[in-house]
Structure 1
Amino acid sequence: MGGERLDSLARRARDRLRAAGVETPDLDARLLTEWATGASRLDLISAPDRLIDADKVAALDAALTRRCQGEPVHRIMGVREFYGLPFRLSPGTLEPRPDTEVLVDLLALVIAEQIARNGFAELVDMGTGTGAIVIALLHRFPGLRGVGVDISDDALATARINAAENGVSARFAAVKSDWFEKLSGRFHFIASNPPYIPRREIACLSREVRDFDPVAALDGGEDGLDFYRVLASHSGRYLYPDGRIAVEIGAGQFDDVETIFAEAGFVLAGHASDLGGHRRAMMFAVKQTVDDLYCPDRNKTHYQDKTR
């Protein structure tokens, strides 16, 4: 009876990744072993003597070679979980990361209110990539309809697959557009995790990001803020009067992004921090609408109290 024992295979995977200097060798070895062999975490404990077929051993060895060369685990596996849902990856998409879940949470608060008032809500996700943000929200709110916008055909195809596999295709549309160029209509909400890495810093990113994430989804221009300027300058005409736009931001960008949106006629309506305590997501409302709704005397402090 051929094959290699599961425990031996898992141990060999750990040793190989440690020798290659991989940052998280134990976790990566376990994930890749489970993926390549079909074994579960429980199998690794309760059935260590299970024999693994040669083709699966070869698949794991190939995956380990790719990981030792810097390719991220989830790119090798072709899927990553986000907000409790599986999302397929492709060369034209970023990996959805846990930090972005705070943007989903921030939007969920106001989407729930909108649906409670009117029975439905509409959202557009600018630079949708895998579709993670909009699809996670569509999955959570049956009363939500969503559009994913991207310039990449590869990303849009991947987003359509993810919408289908997560059961929300009937309420999702994918639109190819260079930001707002081909978009029409109005929405209650705009979401975006735009490219926000300053161009000069891209070469300093980890090789897992620099060499395997699409550069177009990372490069935010000279100061990292180019696409916040695009979003701020165009979003107003695509939002209903009481709509909101929510964006993910990079470390240290909070004040600059608030200024960019303020200069375009928006006011900060909420923000959220990631698990590391960094301010990661910001939400804005059109200032004129806010003033009309909450502070007819144009008292800004009064508005801030109202939104707590």
Structure 2
Amino acid sequence: MNPAERALHEAVRRLPNCTDTPRLDAEILLAHAFGIERDALILNPPAGPVPDSFEELLQRRCAGEPVAYIVGRRAFWNIELEVGPGALIPRPDSETLIAAAIEHFAGSDGPERILDLGTGPGTLLLAALDQWPRATGLGIDASAAALGYARRNAERLGIAPRVQFRRGDWAKSVTERFDLLLCNPPYVAQGAVLGPGVAEHEPAEALFAGPDGLDDYRQLAPEIARLLAPGGLAAIEIGFDQGQSAAALFAAQGLRPALAHDLAGRERALLIRADD
């Protein structure tokens, strides 16, 4: 067993008290310390000494700091995003929205204009623009810090000429119509118990939405119809137990939301289709 393998073994032994995914976290952090990709660490472990920085990375993880913040990046769909304090960490559950959009536009040239409300570090919008290279997009967020990440991600991915980011309060300043509207709003009920390090490190304004977690849906529901172009789609993320409660708010506006499920079979998004 070489030094890297020994360090990985010891890290996996230490991390179960800090995380539900000790092996994965240890591999990501050790690869980051070596300056290589995780795949390279697994397939061909470095033979040299383990960098001193690895111990500091482990201590930060044991203190509850998210892995994505420690390494400064997170993969989402087909892209990798810079993330850090002040930006919501992209999660696989949100890929449900991109999958639903791909299904909706199958057999066509795809959306021309895409709107992402609450874009954060550009997660949904940049994934969609990467998927449809001829599309252009607008991302809105109330957080200047999150928009800073979004702009840097767009530049690094070569998407900056096709996207505009704007600070705003949901869609209040938006007047045009879009073929695809994406939104991952805050939907956690105030006081709900979250996973280790989430509430302590990620921005509260991107997580919590009042006593029942529905406050932001109440603001969004009246806006959707005027934002969708004919034949367009709105894909709005929801909590796994909010299918009926969130859908009712949009139905009250005369909309007909359908439910999309994530890979675990949980209700994960409301899909609202505009008439042609």
Shared fold per TM-score greater than 0.5: yes
Task: Name which of 23, 28, 32 aligns with 2:20.
Answer: 23
1:281 aligns with 269
User: In the aligned structure 1, how far is the partner of 2:67 from the partner of 2:247?
Assistant: 35
**Alignment pair present for 1:206 and 2:200:** no
- Which residues of structure 1 form unaligned runs of 5+? 294-308
Cα deviations across residues 210-246 of structure 1 (Å, max 9, x unaligned)?
1111100011112111111211112222222443221
Q: Which residues of 2 match residues 1-308 of structure 1 at below 5 A?
A: 5-18=3-16, 20-40=17-37, 41-44=39-42, 46-47=44-45, 50-52=47-49, 56-57=51-52, 59-112=53-106, 115=109, 121-201=112-192, 204-268=193-257, 270-286=258-274, 290=275
What is the alpha-carbon root mean square deviation over aligned residues? 2.0
Cα deviations across residues 10-37 of structure 1 (Å, max 9, x unaligned)?
233223324x443222221111101111
User: In the aligned structure 2, how far is the partner of 1:44 from the partner of 1:251?
Assistant: 34
Q: Choose between structure 1 and 2: higher helix proportion.
A: 1
Aligned residues of 1:139 and 1:167 also touching (Cα < 8 A): no
Aligned residues of 2:86 and 2:203 also touching (Cα < 8 A): yes
User: In the aligned structure 1, how far is the partner of 2:139 from the partner of 2:60?
Assistant: 31
Give the superposition deviation at 1:252. 1.6
Give the superposition deviation at 1:115. 2.9
Aligned residues of 2:74 and 2:83 also touching (Cα < 8 A): yes
Distance 1:43 1:240, change over 3 A: closer
Give the superposition deviation at 1:150. 0.2
Aligned residues of 1:176 and 1:182 also touching (Cα < 8 A): no
User: In the aligned structure 2, how far is the partner of 1:39 from the partner of 1:132?
Assistant: 24
Equivalenced residues, count: 274
1:303 aligns with none
Aligned to 2:27, what secondary structure does the other structure show? helix
Percent of pairs with identical residues: 34
Give the superposition deviation at 1:43. 4.5
- Which residues of structure 2 form unaligned runs of 5+? none
Give the superposition deviation at 1:42. 4.2
User: In the aligned structure 1, how far is the partner of 2:61 from the partner of 2:249?
Assistant: 40
Cα deviations across residues 272-306 of structure 1 (Å, max 9, x unaligned)?
211211011121135xxx4xx6xxxxxxxxxxxxx
Distance 1:279 1:33, change over 3 A: same
Distance 1:11 1:215, change over 3 A: same
User: In the aligned structure 1, how far is the partner of 2:233 from the partner of 2:23?
Assistant: 42
User: In the aligned structure 1, how far is the partner of 2:253 from the partner of 2:42?
Assistant: 56
Distance 1:229 1:105, change over 3 A: same
User: In the aligned structure 2, how far is the partner of 1:251 from the partner of 1:47?
Assistant: 39
Structure number with bigger Rg:
1
104-113 or 163-172: bigger deviation: 104-113
